[in-house]
Structure 1
Amino acid sequence: MSLVLAGTVGCDQATKQLAISQLRDEPTRSFLGGLLRLTFAENPGAFLSLGGGLPHAVRFWLFIAAVGVLLLATLVYLVMSRRLEPLQSAALALIVGGGLSNWFDRLVNDGRVVDFMNLGIGSLRTGIFNVADVALMFGAGLLLLAGWRANNPEARQGGSGQG
C-alpha cells in the first residue's frame, strides 16, 4: 500500500507543479469541446471551498491541525491493522495519500490548496479540483464497495447470485 500512497502524493504534487508553472496567470484552457477545463486556482477551504471564508486561525486549526491528526491516525490504522482486506487497504491508502498531499499544500502555501481541473457540459460543471481530490473520492468509493462486499456474501465469493 505504500506504493499507492506514495504514487498518489507524487502524482498530485507533480501535476500541481505543472499547474503552477503552466496555468498560473494564464487564461483557462479547454479540451474535448469544453468537457475538461484547466484553470489555476488556490482554495483556502475544503471541498467546493467550504470554510474558505473562515478566519485564518480557525482554518489553521480545522484544516491543518485537525486534519493532520486525522490523517496520522488513519495512516497508523492502515499500517497496524491486520484485519483490513486488500480493497480496504487500497482505499485507505488513496484517502491518506490524497489527504496528505493537500495537507502538505496547506503547510507550504499559506493554508491554500492548488486546484486546476474542472469537468462539465455547458453551465453544468464541477468545482475546480486536483489529482488528490480524485484519489480521495476514488478511495471513498472503494471503501463503500468494500463495505457493500462485506455485507453481501455472494459478492465476496464472486458468485452471480443465481442458484
Structure 2
Amino acid sequence: MKIKMILILLVFLPLIGCDRYTKVQAVNLLKGQEPISFLDGFFSLTYHENTGAMLSFGAKFPDEVRLMVFTVLVGLVLVIGLIYLMIKPMNKYSFTVGLLILAGGFGNLYDRALNDGRVVDFMLLQLGPLQTGVFNVADVAIMAGVFGFLFISSKLGKRLT
C-alpha cells in the first residue's frame, strides 16, 4: 500500500495538476487566437472545446445524454477504477499504467465539470496529410497508459516485469 500512495503522489496528482494548468493556459493564451505552429507545422497549439469523447465521438448527442454518458457514467467508472486499483494486489507497473489512464480520465472529467460538459483541447500533430485530433495532457496520459498496458501485457513486457 505504501508504494501505491507514493505513486499516487508522484504520478496521479501531478498529472491532474499539469493537465489543469495547461488547460487554464490554453484558455488564457490560445482562445480566440490563430493557431501557433512549430517544427514546420508538425506541432501546433490551437484552442478547441470538445463536447464529446475522443475525436469528438458523441459531440452531437443531446445535452442530457452527453451529461449522463460523459460526466455521470464516466465519473462512476473512474471512481470504481480507482477503488479497484487501490484494493487489487498488483505490481507497480500495472498500478502505474492504471494511474495514467485514471489521471487522464479524472483530468477530463474535472474539465467537463468546470466547463458545462466541454473539455479544452489545444495540441495537434500533423505530418503531411496525416493529423491527429486536437488533444490535451489528459489525453496523452490516457494514451501512455494504454500503450503501457499493451506493452506489459505483451510477451516482452511480461518477461521484463
The two structures share one fold, judged by TM-score above 0.5: yes
Aligned partner of residue 120 in structure 2, secondary structure = strand
Q: Paired residue for 2:147?
A: 141
Aligned partner of residue 117 in structure 2, secondary structure = coil
Name the CA shift for 1:19/1:68 in 2 (closer, same or farther; >3 Å): same
With normalisation by structure 2, the TM-score equals 0.91
In 2: Cα distance, 1:13 partner to 1:59 partner: 21
Q: Write the deviation string for residues 35-61 of structure 1: whole angstroms up to 9, x where unpaired.
A: 001000000000000000000000000
The structure 1 residue matched to 2:127, chosen from 117, 121, 137, is 121
Query: Could you tell me how far 1:85 is from its partner in structure 2?
Result: 1.5
Aligned positions of 1:72-91 closer than 5 A: 72-82=79-89, 84-91=90-97
Q: Say whether residues 1:6 and 2:22 are aligned partners.
A: no
Q: Which structure: larger Rg?
A: 1
Q: Paired residue for 1:23?
A: 30
Name the CA shift for 1:67/1:34 in 2 (closer, same or farther; >3 Å): same
The structure 1 residue matched to 2:138, chosen from 129, 132, 138, is 132
AA aligned opposite 1:51:
G
Q: Write the deviation string for residues 50-97 of structure 1: whole angstroms up to 9, x where unpaired.
A: 000000000000000110010001100111112x12111110100110
Name the CA shift for 1:24/1:155 in 2 (closer, same or farther; >3 Å): closer
AA aligned opposite 2:64:
A
Query: Could you tell me how far 1:157 is from its partner in structure 2?
Result: 4.3
Q: Paired residue for 1:161?
A: none
Is the CA contact 2:124–2:133 (under 8 Å) kept in the aligned structure 1?
Answer: yes
In 1: Cα distance, 2:84 partner to 2:96 partner: 13
In 1: Cα distance, 2:128 partner to 2:45 partner: 15
Q: Say whether residues 1:43 and 2:38 are aligned partners.
A: no
In 2: Cα distance, 1:157 partner to 1:129 partner: 33
Moved more, 73-82 or 51-60: 73-82
Aligned positions of 1:140-159 closer than 5 A: 140-148=146-154, 152=155, 156-158=158-160
Once superposed, what is the RMSD of the aligned Cα atoms? Answer: 1.2
Q: Paired residue for 1:105?
A: 111
Aligned partner of residue 63 in structure 1, secondary structure = helix
Q: Paired residue for 2:4?
A: none
Q: Paired residue for 2:3?
A: none
Structure 1 runs (4+) deviating above 3 angstroms are 154-158
With normalisation by structure 1, the TM-score equals 0.90
Identity %: 41
Any stretches of 5+ residues in structure 1 without a counterpart?
Answer: 159-163
Query: Could you tell me how far 1:155 is from its partner in structure 2?
Result: 5.2
